[in-house]
Amino acid sequence: MTTSQFHLPDVGEGLTEAEIVSWKVAPGDTIEINQVIVEIETAKSLVELPSPFAGTVEGLLVDEGTTVDVGTAIIAVTATDGQEAPPPPPVVDHHLPPAAPAVAAAADLTATQTLASTAEKVARDEEKPGAVLVGYGIKGQVASRRTGRAGARAAVPAIGEAPEAKRPTQRLARIHQPIPGVPVIAKPPIRKLAKDLGVDLNEVTPTGVIGDITRDDVIRHADQAKVFHNIETPQWAPVREERIPVKGVRKQIAKAMVASAFTAPHVSVFVDVDATRTMEYVKRLKTSPDFAGVKVSPLLIMAKAIIWAVRRNPMVNSAFTEKEIIVRNYVNLGVAAATPRGLIVPNVKDAHDLSMLRLAESLEKLTLTAREGRTSPADMADGTITVTNIGVFGMDTGTPILNPGEVAIVALGTIKQKPWVVDGEVRPRFVTTIGASFDHRVVDGDVASRFVADVASIIEEPALLLD
């Protein structure tokens, strides 16, 4: 019997260490290849690591709560039946469900295993050389990894399915029904989301293409309003005090906010705006066939307004250094996202080049990825200006702190009906407050005021975007 050690991999985020959050196995357990064995936390996200070996867990080499460097041995596995532990399998993306349990939902397990082998072979052929186990993060391979796996799935239909053009709807519905005794199919981020929302995946009806559970399935099953708006009041905790270690995302947030607040002299401005026409525009977009299946909200119009205003006031899209001010003639639009693990600010790259539809898709993808804990450092790097939608929490306005490396951040307050004077008459209108903070080393009062006024003019009349 051969004992092999699994070393903490570089999960493709360019980080040097991670914390062991929780072990999913114990000494003496029998595990399979790609079975999730541990959950780790980097400075940016939670990641579930699958095993590259099949066999018996000899020992857990690192305790939960311990932070270790990349390359540290964390678990020992003894191969069963006197066989040597297999080498790490070719490309297994942890954002996708494992091949074997995924196709198992098609009911004919023998045939589906053959299908999985075929798909795996396609992915393996496309990846040579450089195939690695999930988590090793070879740079430059991410795009091909997804393309290879997606191509393999597209090339081979699931058992019992007709080709895409001829596949009967009834058959798909039958395949997607939960099968007793068959494990649910859900990506690790979806499992994490379900855990955060208190959802039992065994009770969720899947709607994914291969019978997998999607994020929307989890949200539909959960009472999202109850989760995020704190409708229920919990009991007092049994202990008088709790001590929460400052680490991971919270540690990074603290460093960034202190650096920003005590480095850049903040100045804030505010303006109330009649957003009635924005609300009408959003309503029209929601009913447009072009936006079918895409989330449309006032934040989309706000994002477009900021991009338009940046073009007219480029200094708000700059960066300050001790030697120079760098004016950036492109917009990587940051979106402050509240997640169960803290505030993060991923950004839409080259947002100025995107159409309304593409920007809506990018914002939705960015938000879903953040809530699922899958935002990568690359998604949060190189932002140029940020928008924060505090209106979703019922807040009218605020004084947001600048994202480090930027000189402007815009806050969109709640949009609600208020009495508003129109042509000398008081009428009910949808009104919001736009607030913004600036680095006064770069942005003077007149520039800040003109920029916010430009943003407000778009919220008041979105037709200006057609100019």
Which residues belong to the active site? 440
Q: Which two tokens stand for residue 64?
A: 């939960």
How does DSSP assign 6-30, residue by residue?
EEPP--SS--SEEEEEEES--TT-E
How does DSSP assign 296-354, residue by residue?
--HHHHHHHHHHHHHHH-GGGGEEE-SS-EEE-SS--EEE-EEETTEEE--EETTGGG-
Residue 337 neighbours by CB under 8 Å, 6+ apart: 343, 344, 345, 346, 366, 367, 370, 371, 375
* Residue 138 C-beta-side C-alpha neighbours within 13 Å: 15
CB neighbourhood size of 378 (10 A): 13
**CB-CB contact of 261 with 399 (8 Å):** no
Nearest to 158 by CA among 146, 148, 169, 167: 167
3-class secondary structure, 277: helix
DSSP, res 39:
E
Residue 135 φ/ψ region, left for φ over 0, alpha for ψ in the -120 to 50 degree band, beta for the rest: left
Residue 147 neighbours by CB under 8 Å, 6+ apart: 126
